Amino acid sequence: MNWYGVWAIFHHEMTRFFRTIMQSLLSPVISTTLYFVVFGAAIGGRIESVEGVPYGAFIVPGLMMLTILQQSISNASFGIYFPKFSGTIYEYLVSPVGWIEVTMGFVGAAAAKAMLIAFVILLTSFYFVGANILHPFWMLAFLFLTAIGFSLLGFIIGLWAKNFEQLQIIPLMVVTPLVFLGGAFYSADMLPPFWEAVAKLNPVLYLISGFRWSFFGLADVPVGVSLVAVALMVVICMAVIRWIFATGWRLRE
C-alpha cells in the first residue's frame, strides 16, 4: 500500500476545497436555514411532533443525510472527472499507485468534505432546535459509512460521465428524489400501508432510518438492516471500481 500516494491525492483534493471554504460552507448553511424556516416553522406549526419528537428536531437527521448524499456524490464525481477532462488522469494510471490508492485518496477527501459540511449543518441546527444525540457513536458510524458509500458512487459517476451534463443526471434525477421519498422529512409510519410498503423499497429510507435512530431511538426499519444496506453498498461500489480500473473502461477515452 502506497500511503504517500494516498496522502498526496487526499491533500491535493482537500487543498482545493479549502481554497473555496466560504463558498463550500456558506451555501449548505443557507440552504439548511431555509429548510428550517420552511419545514420547521411553517410545517412544524401544523405538525408539532412525530412519535414524540418535535418536528423541527425530527428533520435534522434528514437534512444532514440529504447534505451528505449530495456533497459526497458531487465532490467525488467532480474530483475524478476533472483529471479525465484535462487528461491528467494518465499521470495517475502510470504512477506507482494502484486503483485502491487512487480510490482511497479521492473518496477519502470527498467523504471528509461531506462530513465537515454535515457537522456545520448540525451546529446550525442547534441554533434553531435542540437535537439530542442518543447514540453518538452510531451517529458517527452511519455518517462515516454513508459518506464513504456515496463518495464511492460519485467516484463511479465521475468515471462514467463523458461530459459535465452527465455528472448531474444521477444526483438530480435519481438520488435527490429518493432522499425526499426516503423519509427525510417524515416517518414512513405516517404513510398508508400500501405506500409504506412502497417506501421500504427505497434504499435511501434505510440510511435515513438508521441515522435518525442514532438521534432519537426511532427507526422505520431495524437498525441492523440499515447497517447491512450501507455496508453492501460500499462492497458493491468497490467491486465496480476495481472492475473499471482492471478493464480500463472509460479511463482511456
The span from the CA of 226 to the CA of 203, in Å, is 9
Of 94, 92, 88, 210, give the one whose Cα is nearest residue 149: 210
Q: For residue 121, tell me if it sits in a domain.
A: yes
Mean pLDDT over 156-161 rounds to 93
In this model, does residue 1 exceed pLDDT 90? no
Residue 149 lies in a domain: yes
Give 169-209 pLDDT, tens digit per residue. Answer: 888 888 888 888 888 888 888 888 887 888 888 888 998 99
**Is the separation of the CB atoms in 179 and 66 below 8 Å?**
yes
Provide the residue range defining the domain that includes 22.
3-247
Provide mean pLDDT across the span 43-59.
Answer: 76
**Residue 39 domain-assigned?**
yes
Does residue 122 fall inside a structural domain? yes
Does the residue 85 lie in any domain? Answer: yes
Q: Is residue 253 part of a domain?
A: no
For 25-41, how does the pLDDT look when each residue is reduced to its tens digit (9 = 90+)? 777 778 777 777 777 66
- How many domains does the chain fold into? 1
Residue 13 in this model has a pLDDT that exceeds 80: yes
pTM of this prediction exceeds 0.85: yes
Side-chain half-sphere CA neighbours of 128 within 13 A: 25
Per the document, the length of the chain is 253
Residue 252 is assigned to a structural domain of this protein: no
Has residue 32 been placed in a domain? yes
SS3 breakdown of the chain: % helix, strand, coil, rounded to 5? 80, 0, 20
